[in-house]
Amino acid sequence: MNWQAIRVIYTAEMLRTWNTLLQSIASPVISTCLYFVVFGSAIGSRIQSVEDVSYGVFIVPGLIMLSLLTQSISNASFGIYFPKFTGTIYEILSAPLSFFEVVLGYVGAAATKSLIIGTIILITASFFVDLQIKHPFWMIAFLLLTCITFSLFGFIIGIWADNFEKLQLIPLLVITPLVFLGGSFYSIDMLPPLWQKISLFNPVLYLISGFRWSFFEVHDVSVGVSLLSILCFLGICLAIVWWMFKTGYKLRQ
Amino acid sequence: MQPIVSINNLSKVYSSGHQALTDITLDIQPGEILALLGPNGAGKTTLISTICGIVSATSGSVQVDGHDIVSDYRHTRSMIGLVPQELTLGAFEKVFNTLAFSRGLHGKQPNRQYLEQLLKDLSLWDKRDSTLMSLSGGMKRRVLIGKALSHEPRVLFLDEPTAGVDVELRKDMWKLINRLRESGVTIILTTHYIEEAEEIADRVGIINNGKLLLVEDKTDLMQKLGSKKLSIELREPLNTIPDSLNKYDLLLSDNGLTLNYQYDTRSTRTGITALMKDINNAGLILRDIHTSQSTLEDIFVNLVADQS
């Protein structure tokens, strides 16, 4: 195992975050605070509680997931896309590194950044609402798994993309709608029966449901199914990255 | 002696269908400087990139230090340093950090002393805390060399290292390359500059259209393929070459004062003695005589033209 390489990639990526602190950390925290003000205080005060949980508290897991997913994807995709764009990817390709070591460095750093952002949002939320976590271990487990899995997904997008437009395409057109329609701000029980069934095809619903369960024991689908679905997605992403490095897809000519 | 790099029947066809390399076979000995000469698109960069792991070969194999570059890539890549042709550097990293990054990528423990000496050798120590985007083109080129040397490689690939740099920096680089060779590093460089190959290489390979046309010891190559020119300066100008000298295929200069005779150094009889005798018999009075050897450039141009 080339630990030195993992260390330098990880450190360089984290350094990029500290150098752009406002953009990397402050910006998602500010947008989350705005969500709290709009959905929690302004609109939320007019909505009755959801399954005995006040609306302002109910949306916290969804808001954290929204930031985790978008940040994980954007950090990891940019991390690997930028060396491709500048041409410095030659260093990674000509270094004695396995695909797993490259992934550990880049995805590890992207997941760490998302984890920091998720934790900050959680702390910020506790200033707005009275928050209690019923299953802290599972909350951390869901948080970690989501950060890692979606950073891997972002890494795949970063390799696949060959321009900045493609880099933004999936996060904007696929992920954001899925998060909004995956029960971030509501329980699917509040939807008409047809839409409840359609929502079950949304993979993000399973993440948010499992994560919300760890807070309030309130869920749309069973926790086991949530956990299994995220583990499946993790496995699929790992397999795709392995295949990309093995075949050199969009990396080696 | 076991070659440090051994290339066997290496071919590369890109997905576009372009055949970049055709059946390249080449052994590179430890400690030598091999210059690969060739026009644009000849396949020099593809060859280097394949050995370094950036491009996948279509067929054939490469061993570095007796290890296969695919099945034992950790060993081979840790021995290789690469200076790419383009100035591919980040923008916001600092000079020292970028060298430390490259060293770490190759699995080496941090070594501040080594990197400090390396930066001093490259005249970059004063710039260690500068961001990469603030450097001039020449300095960026030196940073790329520093990055390639940061993990103490035994084989160094330089892909047109002096392209676009001024004469002074080019000479500095030649000195650096010689110092590296003295320390036991094997150097393979591609270049457009024949002068560069002539100045620093031990052996020269000529590549065109993906084929390795020849690899020869530089001096042998120049002796073997190089013809010599005898220039005979006359005291009085000639309008035409006398009939008695026609058999020598002499060329008369525009001012009529110089006769040029081309001869092959490999042949046992160069014809010089007979020519001098016939010139004397023709009553021509000589002012001066001198010879000149073909340059590597002449050889290169002739070979590439022959192949075309």
Report which DSSP code applies to B161.
T
**Residue A183 identity:** G
All residues of chain B having their beta carbon less than 8 Å from the beta carbon of residue A3 are 107
Q: How far is A90 from chain B (nearest CA, A)?
A: 6
Report d(CA A33, CA A246) in Å as an integer.
43
Instruction: Confirm whether A252 is domain-assigned.
Output: no
All residues of chain A having their beta carbon less than 8 Å from the beta carbon of residue B49 are 253
Report which DSSP code applies to A174.
I
Q: Scanning the structure block, which residue is given the tokens 């940040």?
A: A71
User: Residue B12, by phi and psi: left (phi above 0), alpha (psi -120 to 50) or beta?
Assistant: beta
Considering CB atoms only, which of B55, B86, B109 is closest to A87? B86
Interchain proximity B56–A248, CB inside 8 Å: yes
Of A133, A92, A76, nearest to A251 by C-alpha is A92
Determine what percent of chain A falls in helix, strand and coil, rounding each to the nearest 5. 80, 0, 20
What structural domains and CATH numbers belong to chain B? 5-222 (3.40.50.300), 228-293 (3.30.70)
Of A156, A253, A100, nearest to B52 by C-alpha is A253
A88-128 confidence digits (pLDDT tens): 889 999 999 988 999 999 999 999 999 998 998 888 888 88
Of B122, B129, B134, nearest to B173 by C-alpha is B122
Helix (H) or strand (E) holding A128: helix A99-128
Amino acid B52: pLDDT? 92
- Strand intervals (E) in B128-285: 155-159, 186-191, 203-208, 211-217, 227-234, 251-252, 258-264
Task: Supply the range of the domain harboring residue A206.
Answer: 3-247
Give the β-pairing of B186-191 and B33-37: parallel
Helix (H) or strand (E) holding B34: strand B33-37
Q: How far is A98 from chain B (nearest CA, A)?
A: 8
Considering CB atoms only, which of B56, B77, B103 is closest to A94? B77
* From A178-187, B83-92, B132-141, B291-300, the region with the lowest mean pLDDT: B291-300
- Angstrom CA distances, B190 to B53, B82, B114, B150, stand at 17, 12, 27, 21
B78-125 confidence digits (pLDDT tens): 999 999 988 888 888 899 999 999 999 999 999 999 999 989 988 889
Instruction: Confirm whether A135 is domain-assigned.
Output: yes
**A141 near A92, Cβ under 8 Å?**
no
When mean pLDDT is compared over A173-182, B99-108, B224-233, the highest value belongs to B99-108
B window 208-267, beta carbon within 8 A of A: none
ipTM over 0.95? The verdict is no
Listing from the earlier edge strand, what are the strands of the sheet with B67-68? Answer: B19-28, B5-13, B59-64, B67-68
Instruction: For residue A251, give the chain B residue with the closest CA.
Output: B54
Residues composing chain B: 308
Kindly state the average pLDDT of the residues B142-165: 88
Interchain proximity A86–B73, CB inside 8 Å: no
Listing from the earlier edge strand, what are the strands of the sheet with B203-208? Answer: B80-83, B155-159, B186-191, B33-37, B203-208, B211-217
Q: Does B20 touch chain A (CB under 8 A)?
A: no
Instruction: Confirm whether A95 is domain-assigned.
Output: yes
**A230 near A208, Cβ under 8 Å?**
no
**A40 near A114, Cβ under 8 Å?**
no
Listing from the earlier edge strand, what are the strands of the sheet with B251-252? Answer: B251-252, B258-264, B227-234, B286-293
Cβ of A24: how many Cβ atoms within 10 Å? 19
All residues of chain A having their beta carbon less than 8 Å from the beta carbon of residue B90 are 83, 86, 88
The pair of three-digit structure tokens given for residue B36, joined into one six-digit string: 């690969």
**Where does the pLDDT of residue A150 fall: very low under 50, low under 70, confident under 90, or very high at 90 and above?**
very high
B52-88 confidence digits (pLDDT tens): 999 999 999 999 999 999 999 999 999 999 999 888 8
Instruction: Confirm whether A218 is domain-assigned.
Output: yes
All residues of chain A having their beta carbon less than 8 Å from the beta carbon of residue B53 are 93-94, 252
Contacts of A79 (CB under 8 A, 6+ apart): A13, A16, A106, A109, A110, A155, A158
Q: Scanning the structure block, which residue is given the tokens 């490999």?
A: B266
Instruction: Confirm whether A253 is domain-assigned.
Output: no
B window 145-204, beta carbon within 8 A of A: 147
All residues of chain B having their beta carbon less than 8 Å from the beta carbon of residue A97 are 105
Q: What angle do CA B214, B220, B221 make, to 5 degrees?
A: 40
Instruction: For residue A253, give the chain B residue with the closest CA.
Output: B55
Q: Is the pLDDT of residue B226 over 70?
A: no
Number of domains composing chain A: 1
Amino acid B77: pLDDT? 93
Phi and psi dihedrals of B186, rounded to 5? Answer: -85, 135
Residues composing chain A: 253
All residues of chain B having their beta carbon less than 8 Å from the beta carbon of residue A248 are 56
Amino acid B25: pLDDT? 93
Instruction: Confirm whether A105 is domain-assigned.
Output: yes
**A211 near A147, Cβ under 8 Å?**
no
Of B136, B146, B133, B137, nearest to B91 by C-alpha is B133
